[in-house]
Amino acid sequence: MKIRILMLILAGLIHGGLAAHAEEPAAKLVDVKKIWDQGNHNAFTDLLYHDGNWYCVFREGKGHVSPDGLLRVLTSKDGETWTSAAAITDDKSDLRDAKISVAPDGRLCLAGAGAWHDKSKATHQSFVWYSKDGKDWGEAIPVGDPNFWLWRVTWHEGKGYGVGYFCKPRDSKTPHSTKFYKTEDGKNFTAIVPQLTGDDYGYVNESSIIFTEDGTAICVLRRDGGKKSALLGKASAPYTDWTLQELNDYVGGPQLLQIPDGRIVVAGRKTTGPAKTSLWWLDPNTAKLTEILEFPSGGDTSYPGLVYHNDQLWVSYYSSHEGKTNIYLARVELPKK
């Protein structure tokens, strides 16, 4: 009798799990292809479709961390054939983690950080570059505070926002923290929240922000050290008062996108099992991530870019599952609401 009851309970749990999974049908991978492999290590991507052109940006160097890092800009008219439009270099630093956006004046904005070769005064400095065509880029403009990595710039109602995280030197006794920055002109970034998170949250670092139709800012932040997880941040204008919640999964190199029907997708690296680049739904009301797709990936991987175009989700990412780190572009059909 006890065995029968136990079997019924287990059957109910299994059925419930399947039913819950069925409520969130998997996304369909339409296709995926390698679009760049010319560097020894190609990684940390972002993706943009603007004015009839595709842009994929990433870091290229000898290794995951190496002094020769440059920011590569690829362009395409159809998303099929890609060519290199620019390579931004700096002989004083390893340029890292390119992120691309469109500034209010219509110019392309490229954000990244330089890991200084000479670390006597600081270890990192964030920069932005601007271009009208993706080929010719202006001079690097230092932004934010030294040693605070402004990881991405997101524009909303003519202003730019982003989270900067403290790049703590190994011998530093300064507590870890993050700041929330705002810019009015795209050149001067002010920390309107001087401490978004402190040491009590662990090592909070990479982030992505979206602004919903009612102006609410929603942010996913990667968190390492101690308990690996991600944080969900929410704030209303003027974005100086944030609430933070723990998400139910870890996301490395997070990127968010709200699709036309209002749902929010998150892409990044998961570490449950072997490292993979994955896609989740995000419910900002319950702080819940629900995985819906795992991309062909493995090893050194993640840092996706997201674009919703022609009723499909386009995803750039990098991965070493084919032997070395290459840049990939995938198209995904999302389940209907």
Q: Is 7 helix (H, G, I), strand (E, B) or coil?
A: helix
Question: CA angle, corner 78, sides to 73 and 79, nearest 5?
Answer: 55
Give the whole-angstrom CA distance, residue 32 versus residue 35: 9
pLDDT tens column, 49-61: 999 999 999 999 9
Provide the pLDDT confidence category of residue 203 given band limits of 50, 70 and 90: very high
**HSE-up of 164 (CA within 13 Å, CB side)?**
32
Q: What is the pLDDT of residue 4?
A: 37
Instruction: Please answer whether residues 176 and 204 qualify as being in contact, where contact means their C-beta atoms are separated by less than 8 angstroms.
Output: yes
pLDDT tens column, 87-103: 999 999 999 999 999 99
Q: Residue 82 pLDDT > 90, yes or no? A: yes
For residue 260, whether the previous peptide bond is cis, meaning omega lies within 30 degrees of 0, is no
Q: What is the pLDDT of residue 72?
A: 98
Q: Residue 2 pLDDT > 70, yes or no? A: no
Q: Residue 6 pLDDT > 70, yes or no? A: no
Q: What is the pLDDT of residue 173?
A: 81
Domains present along the chain, CATH in parentheses: 30-333 (2.120.10.10)
Q: Residue 17 pLDDT > 60, yes or no? A: no
Burial class from Cβ neighbours inside 10 Å (0-12, 13-18, 19+) for residue 41 reads: buried
**Could you count the other beta carbons within 10 Å of the beta carbon of residue 167?**
19
Provide the pLDDT confidence category of residue 23 given band limits of 50, 70 and 90: low
Give the whole-angstrom CA distance, residue 321 versus residue 32: 13
Provide the pLDDT confidence category of residue 25 given band limits of 50, 70 and 90: confident
Provide the pLDDT confidence category of residue 12 given band limits of 50, 70 and 90: very low
Q: Which two tokens stand for residue 200?
A: 């009590």
Instruction: Please answer whether residues 223 and 201 qualify as being in contact, where contact means their C-beta atoms are separated by less than 8 angstroms.
Output: yes
Give the whole-angstrom CA distance, residue 75 versus residue 236: 35
Give the whole-angstrom CA distance, residue 148 versus residue 173: 15
Q: Phi, psi at residue 47, to the nearest 5°?
A: -140, 140
Provide the pLDDT confidence category of residue 318 given band limits of 50, 70 and 90: very high
**Could you count the other beta carbons within 10 Å of the beta carbon of residue 154?**
20
- Listed in sequence order, the residues at least 6 apart from 147 whose beta carbon sits closer than 8 Å to its beta carbon are 122, 123, 124, 166, 167, 168, 169
Least confident range of 4-13, 247-256, 326-335: 4-13
pTM: 0.92
Helix, strand, coil percent values for the chain (each to nearest 5): 5, 55, 40
Least confident range of 104-113, 171-180, 327-336: 171-180
For residue 304, whether the previous peptide bond is cis, meaning omega lies within 30 degrees of 0, is no
Provide the pLDDT confidence category of residue 24 given band limits of 50, 70 and 90: low
Average pLDDT over residues 23-48: 93
